[in-house]
Structure 1
Amino acid sequence: MDITLLYFDDCPNWKIADERLAVITADRPDLTVSRHLVETLEEAERVGFHGSPSILVDGVDVFAEPNTGVGMSCRVFHTPDGLAGAPTVDQLRAALGAGNETLR
């Protein structure tokens, strides 16, 4: 399974998502993570960047909500503890099929 972490430098939340992905992939040799720096609005539109961080699983943004626009902004995620700058480890595991939790 290929995971792509889309981000832009001015948003610190991508580093949190990257650390959480590293926790999961340490035990999952079937997962490959790549990082993609989005630098322009044109590129954001081309890759369907819904904000930083965006997590694509086999090319699909697994946390995209309907009618979410694209752009160069920090993204927020609904977590069990409220809005946050990155999904929780459990939410990532669920999205990657690595646990029994469901997306919240």
Structure 2
Amino acid sequence: MKVELLHILDCPNTGIAEANVRAALDAHGLSDVPIRLVTIRNEVEATSTPFGGSPTILVDGVDLFPTTPVRSLACRVYATGDGFAGAPTQDQAEEALRAIAP
């Protein structure tokens, strides 16, 4: 399994997303799966990847939270049980992983 976290420079939600995905992977017994951080630096990179805004979490090249790819260096918003947030919760990440890797 290949896990990538696409983000823009200085995104305040990168660390939160990485921690929540790490915890979700660990909860699924996937502690040995690394999370590769990929910095999206310009619009060309944004359009040449499945970048849905920062941060975007890809598992084997597929967005863990499918959305329309963006064509710019933009932030991403996730709907959570507590309202909108800049990263998915650990529970959301666990549920999304469960849906693709039961």
If the length of structure 2 is used for normalisation, what is the TM-score? 0.83
Which SS does the other structure have where 1:74 is aligned?
coil
Native 8 Å contact 1:25 1:32 kept in 2 = no
List alignment gaps of at least 5 residues for structure 2: none
Residues paired across the two proteins, number: 97
Q: Which residue of 1 aligns with 2:88?
A: 87
Inter-partner Cα distance in structure 2 for 1:41 and 1:22: 28
Report the Cα distance in structure 2 between the residues aligned to 1:70 and 1:63, rounded to whole angstroms: 17
TM value normalised by structure 1: 0.81
CA distance in 1, matches of 2:50, 2:79: 20
Aligned to 2:16: 16
Identity %: 41
In 2, the alpha carbon distance for the partners of 1:87 and 1:70 equals 21
Cα shift at 1:81: 1.1
Q: How far 1:25 moved relative to its partner?
A: 3.2
Greater RCO structure (CA 8 Å; 6+ sep): 2
What value does the CA root-mean-square deviation take over the aligned residues?
1.8
Counterparts of 2:55 and 2:6, CA distance in 1: 6
